[in-house]
Homo-oligomer: A and B are copies of this chain.
Amino acid sequence: MEQILNYISIGGSFALAISGSLKAMGKKFDPFGILIIAFVTPVGGGTLRDILLTEKSVFWLKETPYIYFIIAGTIMALIFRKRLTYFHNTLMFFDAVGLALYTITGVQIGIDNDLSFINCIILGTLTGAFGGVVRDILVNEVPVIFHKEIYATVSIVGGIFYWALARFNVSNPFLQIAPILFIIAARILITYYKLAFPSIYGKK
């Protein structure tokens, strides 16, 4: 089970690298800049998490496969850049998968470190959703998850769900599969129906 999720997680970095590459190409970055944005989109959140914990070196310094999949994703994006719109739905799906897997990984690491409930959720959301924040800072935009999309909220709710199951000793595979499916489904439905919170600022 762990093994399978690990493979999916590494595979997810491939899809997120493609989506990061597209963002960087939209900003007319050169190949090096594209590679950096492709890199931080999948692993930026987990990097922040590891830095805050200071338990050990950042994960991708030891788990090299992530890096190779990211480089492969970037090369794919560079080659097929004019035809990537055909894969829009596929990318959206993997983006949701990444959000789900990275969120529960982060919450589990919080549990492993005996952190309080709220800090477990924070680590989950950091891991799941803050790669995009690092990406947006590097391309000099206001991070999109702060003002536009219901993205982090899905990670928070899914993280609470996973934490509660773990707390009540629900065992695998249900422990992991239920919140993963919840996050994927919620994220896809929100994107598909273009759902948004009612604005707190009133109408323009």
Interface residues of A (CB under 8 A from B): 24-25, 27-33, 36-37, 47, 50-58, 60-61, 64, 67-68, 78, 113, 115-116, 118-119, 122, 133, 137-143, 145-148, 152-153, 156, 197, 199-201
Contacts and interface: CB of A to CB of B under 8 A. Distances in A.
Contacts of A156: 32
B54 A146 contact: no
A24 B67 contact: no
A24 B143 CA distance: 12
Instruction: Report copies per complex.
Output: 3
B118 A33 contact: no
Given A61-B115, A118-B64, A143-B33, A52 B47 contact: yes
12 contacts: A25-B200, A27-B147, A28-B147, A29-B147, A30-B197, A32-B145, A32-B153, A51-B54, A53-B57, A67-B119, A133-B138, A139-B142
Contacts of A153: 32
Contacts of A200: 25, 30-31, 78
A55 B146 CA distance: 31
